Amino acid sequence: MRLWTTLLATMLLAACASYSGSGLRPGEARLEDVQALMGPPAMRWQEPDGSVQLAYARGPLGFHTFMVKLGPDGRLQDIANVLEEKGFARVRARMTKDEVLRVLGPPDFSRSVYFKARDELVWDWRYCQIFGDPARFLVLFDGASGTVRSTMTQPEYFGRPLFREHCSR
């Protein structure tokens, strides 16, 4: 029984490390290390200076998107969950869709909606609010210009706190 408990605990720790990349060390880990631990990224951007940005979206049912930044030397610089207030504050009016993707990573495209009457496209990201309640961050794009018109947050439980799912930070 002790062997199975140890094996299960080891597997759970490995899964947690691969989910967020927490076992990777800045300045040491390289692209191969990141992909071996976290898998293939949902999106990838090559910068003119040779640096690379990778988006690891853990949705649509997950609450995190981890942005991995590799320097021009190919070594890990930073890993951060961008689906939190600090990341949302970086989304500004008149940003393009590509700029929003670079800040937040891919949305839950299955929940994207176009409102013809308003000529507005809405993208949706699931995240954990500060006290552990699940919520949605919405970016509303002007249909004609394709740029951000506004943003908003929306709790997932819609006034039914008895059935609310809590998420881990």
pLDDT at 130: 87
Q: What is the pLDDT of residue 62?
A: 85
pLDDT given for residue 132 in this prediction: 85
Q: Where are the beta strands (DSSP E) in the chain?
A: 43-46, 52-57, 65-70, 76-81, 113-115, 120-128, 134-142, 148-155
Residue 15 has pLDDT above 50, yes or no: no
**Greater pLDDT, 122 or 11:** 122
pLDDT tens digits, one per residue of 134-146: 999 999 999 999 9
Whole-number average pLDDT of the chain: 87
**What is the spatial distance between Cα 91 and Cα 39, in angstroms, rounded to a whole number?**
27
The mean per-residue pLDDT over the stretch 65-87 comes to 97
Query: What are the structural domains of the chain?
Result: 21-81 (3.30.1450.10), 85-163 (3.30.1450.10)
pLDDT of residue 159: 58
